Amino acid sequence: MSSEAACYTRRIPPPAKHSIETLKLRDIAERLACRLEGDGDVEIVRVAGIQQAQEGDLTFIANPRYLTQLATTRASAVILGRTRPDDAPPRCAVLHTDDPYSAFARAVSLFADDTPPPKGVDRLSAVANDAAIGADVSIGPFVTIGSGAAVGARTIIYPNVVVGPGARIGEGCVIHSQASIRERVVIGDRVTLHDGVVVGSDGFGFARQKDGSHLKIPQHAGVVIEDDVEIGANSTVDRPAIGETRISAGAKIDNLVHIAHGVTIGRRALLAAQVGIAGSTVIEDDVMMAGQTGRVVRHRSPGHRARRLAKGVGGVPPPAVAEKTGGRARAPNRRARGEARCMPDIDGSLIGRAVLAACLAFIVAARAAAQQPIVGPVPPAPEFLSRYDFHLTAAALLTSPIGPQGITDERFSWDTHFGGSFDLVDYVGGRAGVLVDFQAVLGSEYRPFDPNQGNYTLETFASARSGSTEIVGMFHHVSRHLSDRPKRMAIAWNELGGRLLHRATLGATSVDVDLEGGRAVQHSFVDYTWLGELNLLVRRPLGDHVGVFGHGSGQLFAVDEAVAHRGSQAGGLIEAGVRLNGRAGAIELFAGYEKRVDADPLDRLPQHWGLAGFRLLSR
């Protein structure tokens, strides 16, 4: 070999010989805080799955369905949870614990072959003179640390990492190769960033100009990664123009995840691969999002919501699970009793889509816009299936443009109802029956007449009459869904309460009063504790087939302030119109104004709009 070639050739040393580290089972039991049953002198060399385990291996069982495999495993010991009296005894030593899966995780760490870079700062790194470097750090070659940056004690930084000026990294962190920590980013203690992570890149913010071009909005605000966060390979966390992007303590983020500008990720949240979180979104504590889910965002104006800018999961409240887009909607173990698992997708008319649309607007608004309960006529004798009322309503929602660019909220264009009530039995002194209502709110986000919200209400009631007054006990279930938008958590509640109905007549004019209230005895996601409503319906005939009417309602919701950090909510509706009577039914043409509480079921904001529509009623 020539001397010139030798300059570029490096002798490769033989591979290092690693002795197999073993631990006695009694030592493992002590470190894992498990109760040992069997020979504590058994030597354990690794942790393995129950089917692959050999002599010298430690295995585990976290799911009872695999208990039958204890009879055939060749492992020397098993980590085991609670067993049933009729389970066959294991053939090997046992480490008993109430949480076998966590014990397994800690056992794996006992045998992990970690080879961090040597302590100190590699001579091939570039560290600014005014950077603060803590004790016992390991900084590999080709690492760049900018002016004014700080690295905490015992932090490990692998080769080819860039730490920008003014960035701060806490103690005990692990930063893998090719990660980029941009200027002024703040990272807490015990944070792990895997290969290729970028923290603090510019958020995607542009202002559209009159000529159609896009003016970049400078993205100079902060990013904060709190303690004990782990972020997977090639994930990105953007900085916003104002405010901050924050990943709260204990959150775990998989590979290829994008966190946009101004996002807040809650404590202990879990985000699997290819999740995308749109700007300014808040993900609450303990949320889990599975692969390829996304988060809808709507930029917020004071007191209003504007154009939807991204599509995906419609909301992620605590503690919810968002699963892969395209699967069947399934809520985790918090699904309200009686809630349908799914609603079929049917192409058809506006009303057909409204019936089967998915996120519901809200029970009181549903009853207000549908048919108000009124005092039932008294039969001469007890009757079975004595009465049936049908209603079908469609109203255009007249929303005002938002902001200087005149953006309209594309979620709210139409409100529709379809349903009825019937008396199962009328026992003269009162009646018992069922009420059903489907509601859909339609917008124009994806297409004209896009059913983005829907709701069903199921109610049973029984009453007692006293003259022109009826006292009603009721139990109803409300369930809210999304249409064409993945939503895996249940939004539902059950209410137990009462209703007072009274009719008064002033000449030809009739006045119906409906006063009701109840307690939310079960709820998922919503923060309601008590619900109250007052309805007033005034009708006056102008002839045999024509009349006029006015209707007003008010709603009050007491809430659990610890859930959404807000106080009691109030809404209302007022409408007036013309009633056209026929032999078998009536049509009401009406216009009015409404303030609807929690108009979108996930952002917990009220909406105001004018409305105009029709209502088809049975006689």
Same domain, 155 and 257: yes
* CB burial of residue 565 (10 Å; 0-12, 13-18, 19+): exposed
CB of 180 within 8 A of CB of 161?
Answer: yes
The range of the structural domain enclosing residue 260 comes to 146-322
Same domain, 379 and 315: no
Spatial CA neighbour of 219 closest among 198, 237, 199, 205: 205
Same domain, 464 and 501: yes
The CATH number assigned to the domain holding 560 equals 2.40.160
Same domain, 434 and 488: yes
**300 lies in a domain?**
yes
- Predicted local confidence at residue 377, as pLDDT: 76
The CATH number assigned to the domain holding 273 equals 2.160.10.10
- Predicted local confidence at residue 365, as pLDDT: 35
Distance CA 277, CA 256 (A): 12
Same domain, 443 and 567: yes
Distance CA 67, CA 91 (A): 12
- Predicted local confidence at residue 344, as pLDDT: 35
> In this structure, what is the dihedral angle of CA atoms 253, 566, 529, 369, given to the nearest 10 degrees?
-100
- Predicted local confidence at residue 328, as pLDDT: 34
The CATH number assigned to the domain holding 55 equals 3.40.1390.10
Same domain, 440 and 559: yes
Beta-carbon-side half-sphere exposure of residue 485 (alpha carbons within 13 Å): 30
pLDDT single digits (tens) 93-121:
999 898 888 888 888 888 877 677 789 99
**582 lies in a domain?**
yes
Same domain, 457 and 563: yes
Lowest mean pLDDT among 366-375, 407-416, 538-547: 366-375
Same domain, 51 and 152: no
Q: Identify the H or E element spanning 27.
A: helix 25-32
Is residue 527's pLDDT more than 50? yes
Task: Compute the C-alpha angle 298/301/306, nearest 5°.
Answer: 40
**14 lies in a domain?**
no
Distance of CA 112 to the CA centre of its chain: 35
What residue ranges in 40-109 does DSSP mark as E strands?
A: 43-44, 46-47, 57-61, 77-80, 93-96
* CB burial of residue 601 (10 Å; 0-12, 13-18, 19+): buried
**141 lies in a domain?**
no
Residue 14: pLDDT band (50, 70, 90) is: low
Distance CA 59, CA 80 (A): 9
Residue 15: pLDDT band (50, 70, 90) is: low
Spatial CA neighbour of 362 closest among 613, 587, 573: 573
Residue 70: pLDDT band (50, 70, 90) is: confident
Domain boundary among 110, 134, 168: 110
Is residue 1's pLDDT more than 60? no
Question: Mean pLDDT score of the chain, rounded to an integer?
Answer: 82
- Predicted local confidence at residue 486, as pLDDT: 65
Same domain, 478 and 369: yes
Q: Identify the H or E element spanning 304.
A: strand 304-308
Provide the 10 A C-beta neighbour count for residue 351.
15
Residue 366: pLDDT band (50, 70, 90) is: very low
- Predicted local confidence at residue 292, as pLDDT: 74
**Terminal-to-terminal C-alpha distance of the chain:** 105
- Predicted local confidence at residue 356, as pLDDT: 35
- Predicted local confidence at residue 327, as pLDDT: 36
**292 lies in a domain?**
yes
Residue 178: pLDDT band (50, 70, 90) is: very high
When divided into structural domains, the chain yields a total of 3
Average pLDDT over residues 573-585: 93
Is residue 568's pLDDT more than 50? yes
Residue 95 pairs with which residues in a beta bridge? 36, 79
Distance CA 362, CA 80 (A): 47
Type of residue at 485 = R
Average pLDDT over residues 435-448: 88
**468 lies in a domain?**
yes
**330 lies in a domain?**
no
Domain boundary among 66, 91, 110: 110
CB of 221 within 8 A of CB of 260?
Answer: no
**Beta strands 450-466 and 431-443, pairing class:** antiparallel
What residues contact residue 19 under an 8 Å CB cut-off, 6+ apart? none
- b (16+ CB within 10 A) / e for 283-321: bbebbbbbbbbbbbbbbeeeebbbebeebbbbbbbbbbb
Lowest mean pLDDT among 282-286, 345-349, 424-428, 430-434: 345-349
Active-site residue identified among 194, 261, 417, 481: 261
Residue 294: pLDDT band (50, 70, 90) is: low
Same domain, 161 and 299: yes
pTM recorded for the entire structure: 0.49
- Decide if 261 is catalytic: yes
**333 lies in a domain?**
no
